[in-house]
Amino acid sequence: MIHREGYQSLFIALIILGLPYVALDQWVQIEWLTQAYLILALVLYILVLQFFRNPPRTTVAEPGDVIAPVDGNVVLIEEVLETECFKDQRKMISIFMSPLNVHVNRVPVAGKVAYAKYHPGKYLVAWHPKSSTENERSTVVLDHPHTGPVLFRQIAGALARRICLYSQPGQEYSAGDEFGFIKFGSRMDIYLPMDAEIVAKIGDKPKGGETLIARIPKRA
């Protein structure tokens, strides 16, 4: 299944890769060169196509379970000061997505959107320490009686040039529901309460919408 965000990009890629082939076939007419270009164009198109794939996922989550919002590599787990919304200490899990990963973004917990904001910004490499505050990004906070507020942030990388955020305040989600998409390499940060139990480890490769990465005790 192809994600809807890919339709325009795939059409543009088809035109860009197809025009040189037509020129080679009609005017240059060097068979080996035309065939070599066709193979190269097909490989490049398949790479773009796989970036926009949207495989079905089945989310199984108990109250308090935090599910990976994206595919990728867990690159950072640390305690940080969250300054945009909470202005207090939180446990943060960062998942880096390469261009080869599925880039559908899913909510890690159930809840109602209490805050959703897009921020324009720079395009530093996604693992740069300042990327979470200076890059193009979006911030979403979901609130639920069991978990309390949970913040997660889409962060564009050096290749990612467009963050797609579908969330609006008041919108309700179940864990694993799609809330956005990031094009071509990026990062997702999840900010959890300090009493959350982190299940994920650095180096893990979670599957978005399916892999358990943390548990949050029920709020008093």
Q: For residue 58, give the nearest of 169, 202, 156, 176 by alpha carbon.
A: 176
Per-residue model confidence (pLDDT) at position 160: 56
Helix 6-23 vs helix 31-51: angle between axes, to the nearest 10 degrees?
Answer: 180
Provide the whole-model pTM. 0.87
Q: Which amino acid is at 7?
A: Y
| CATH domain 65-215 topology | Glucose Permease (Domain IIA) (2.70.70)
What's the chain's Rg over C-alpha atoms?
Answer: 20
Kindly report the number of other CB atoms within 10 A of residue 175's CB atom.
23
**pLDDT by residue for the chain (220 residues), tens digit each?**
888 888 998 999 999 999 999 998 888 888 999 999 999 999 999 988 888 999 999 999 999 999 999 999 999 999 999 999 999 999 999 999 888 899 899 999 999 999 999 998 776 665 555 666 677 889 999 999 999 999 999 998 666 567 899 999 999 999 999 999 987 768 899 999 999 999 999 999 999 999 999 999 998 7
Helix, strand, coil in percent for the chain, rounding step 5: 20, 35, 45
Residue 212: beta bridge partners?
Answer: 67
Q: What whole-number distance in Å separates Cα of residue 3 and Cα of residue 200?
A: 27
Domain boundaries defined on the chain: 6-51, 65-215
Element (H, E) at 22: helix 6-23
Strands 178-182 and 104-106: antiparallel
Please name which of 208, 212, 211 lies closest in space to residue 3, comparing C-alpha atoms. 208
For residue 89, CA distances in Å to 81, 85, 191, 192, 215 come to 4, 11, 9, 9, 17
Residues labelled as active-site residues: 186
* Whether the Cβ atoms of residue 104 and residue 54 lie closer than 8 Å to each other: yes
Distance, in Å, from the CA atom of 45 to the CA atom of 219, rounded to the nearest integer, reads 48
3-state secondary structure of 144: coil
Predicted confidence at residue 144, as pLDDT, reads: 94
